Amino acid sequence: MSPALPRRPDIDGLRALAIVPIVAFHAGLSQLRGGFVGVDIFFVISGFLITAIISRDMALGAFSLLAFYRRRVARIFPALFVMLAGVLALGCALLLPDDVRALAESAAAAAAFVSNIFFERSAGYFAPAAETIPLLHTWSLGVEEQFYLFYPPLLMAARRFFPQSLPRVVATFALVSFALSLYWAQVWPDGAFYLLPSRAWELALGGLVALGAFPPIGPRARQAAAALGLALLLLGLLVAQPGALFPAPLALMPCGGAALLIAYGETAKTRALLASRPLVAIGAISYSLYLWHWPAIVLARLVYDPQLRAPTALAAVGFALLAAVASWRFVERPLQARLREATPGPVVGAGATALCGMMALAWGVGRNADHWRTLPAPVRKVASYVDYRAWPQHRAQFVEGTCFVSLGETFDRAQCLRMDPHKRNMLVFGDSHAAQYWRAIADRFPAWNVMQATGSACRPMHGVSTESHCNDFVPFVLDHFLVDNRPDAVVLAGRWLEGETPALEQTARAIMARGAAVTIIGPGVEYEGEFPRLLAMAMLRGDVAALDGLRVADRAPLDREIAAMAARIGASYVSEQSIECPDNHCVLFDPDGGPFHYDYGHITLAGARLVAAAIKVP
């Protein structure tokens, strides 16, 4: 077995500068808005250390893929699988059945090191829903382990065919990845964030340091380069923010800073900070702390405090620190020492067996999600609405794929806009917040022909930002259907946004000028999270009043603004806010005993019927 690399205390300190901002950012320290770039620093460190090991062993003629993967198993698997098992156990004890199923799916993806792909398809990292996914942070392990599947063979091939050009090969690879990252950050932000092709340049940058691409320089220049590296790293933590172009180009600051510190910081004055005992101690437990901090924070948010106030966040971080120290002391350090000295084949085989076992455990947990915890019947009923979108009732409420369309679907003009010469005709027009009312309105006016023209994010106005699938029918309805036809009534509803009331007024006036009675349904009540989960957990805590603090505040003023506009132009107005929250005390349950909302703001069919009952037409 080849000897370990010489220990670099300053790199342990660099790990601390990576993990502390991550934990602070996830715990809600809004001042450190770029804390998430700590992951990018970890990528550079990992790329440096792994490349240094591989290149040294290749130079000695001692490199073996099997021995390399033994190192990866020893380093990554024990602490990860203990965390996954622990979080699955906590989830079974604390979470709702649908959340346990989702947790089990993500645990299986994390065990297989594909959670970055899994979450790219299901969860934006900065989306509000991300705050309820306990294993979201494992995406970075997926990126790293996927990188190390092909990177060693790439270095082996480059050394064989281009022995004098190894740094150039890695640099070319890094540049291609960076260019792709720049492009994806603009056209596919989630893919750029989660997927290996746009992240590989960060690991390769660390590899370039190990391959000598950062040349030797004099003492003064080293001091300046290390100081610049620390400044860039800190600047990246302060400047990067959710929603910015990321990872390219903004990740260049923390990644470039980390590379400079690794290349030149070992003998620079910055070493005094990075090699200090507190930072080295934090750096030693950084992997286990990374594994445990996010599940602790998410579970605290889900179970105890959806707003994650400071005492809850501190308690969660304290728990994560204790778990990290225990993981490092009793799992990471002893097993890593033992496995690194063992024969490679059995270690890799044991790792593969553990991987399959963890996936089987996750499957079993998800399969039996309904049986881990006994819930009171009312809570179980409310919790079941987390899956409301899959219910036949939801499909009947929305008429999905034909008269309510999403991205990639085509609105069926012939079926959905068919006038009936023998009945009075009404059109329900707008986005998903209009579609949610269609069935209730059709039931409310059985003698009418109630048509529907709705699409996800398709607010029924000219000159507002919408999605591409809205272009198939919104202009058609406004400029052709309502010009060539004369429906008796039009109901306009949507997730109205601030600043768009003039456009809504112009639309309503134009429709009224053509002889149709216009009814506008105002903005609905919204919550900061998935309402069925929030309500079910609040019921378990005996604290449903806490939901008042989770209401989105800006919807009520907008309701009053649109109501005043409707009164001014003579349109009918239905205030969903007043129906759901009379005297500012919101109804939590619909008439069927389910939650009034099935997500952050859409309401159930039973709730929609209450709103539809308030519609009056001439």
Rg over alpha carbons for the chain, rounded to the nearest Å, is: 28
Contact predicate 244/193, CB 8 Å:
no
- Residue 378 inside a domain? The answer is no
Q: Which of 371, 401, 431 is the last residue of a domain?
A: 371
d(CA 551, CA 536): 16
> Computed from CA positions of residues 185, 186, 188, 189, in that sequence, does the dihedral angle turn out positive or negative?
positive
Same domain, 502 and 591: yes
Contact predicate 556/577, CB 8 Å:
yes
d(CA 293, CA 297): 6
Same domain, 259 and 130: yes
For 146-203, write each residue's pLDDT tens digit. Answer: 999 999 999 999 888 888 889 999 999 999 999 999 999 999 999 999 999 999 999 9
Residue 503, amino acid: A
Q: Which of 314, 344, 371 is the last residue of a domain?
A: 371
Whether pLDDT at 292 is above 80: yes
- Residue 140 inside a domain? The answer is yes
Same domain, 144 and 270: yes
For 416-475, write each residue's pLDDT tens digit. Answer: 999 999 999 999 999 999 999 999 999 999 999 999 999 999 999 988 877 888 888 899
- Tell me the residue ranges of DSSP E strands in 286-412: 404-405
* 229 token code pair: 């590296």
| Mean pLDDT, range 500-515, rounded to an integer | 95
> What is the number of domains present in the chain?
2
* CATH code at position 474: 3.40.50.1110
Helix 65-94 and helix 38-59: axis angle, to 10°? 150
Same domain, 500 and 387: yes
Contact predicate 119/145, CB 8 Å:
no
pTM across the whole model: 0.90
Residue span of the structural domain in which 496 resides? 383-612
d(CA 366, CA 138): 18
- Residue 2 inside a domain? The answer is no
pLDDT given at position 127: 62
Secondary structure letter of residue 125 according to DSSP: T
pLDDT band (50, 70, 90) for residue 1: low
Same domain, 424 and 322: no
Share of the chain above pLDDT 90, in %: 83
Same domain, 365 and 418: no
d(CA 141, CA 263): 24
Contact predicate 262/47, CB 8 Å:
no
Contact predicate 538/578, CB 8 Å:
no
Please provide the size of the chain in residues: 618
For 541-591, write each residue's pLDDT tens digit. Answer: 999 998 998 998 878 899 999 999 999 999 999 999 999 999 888 999 999
- Residue 53 inside a domain? The answer is yes
CB atoms inside a 10 Å sphere around CB 527? 21
Three-state DSSP at 453 gives strand
φ, ψ at 453 (rounded to 5°)? -135, 95
Same domain, 320 and 422: no
- Residue 323 inside a domain? The answer is yes
Those residues whose C-beta lies under 8 Å from the C-beta of residue 200, and which sit 6 or more positions away, are: 147, 173, 174, 177
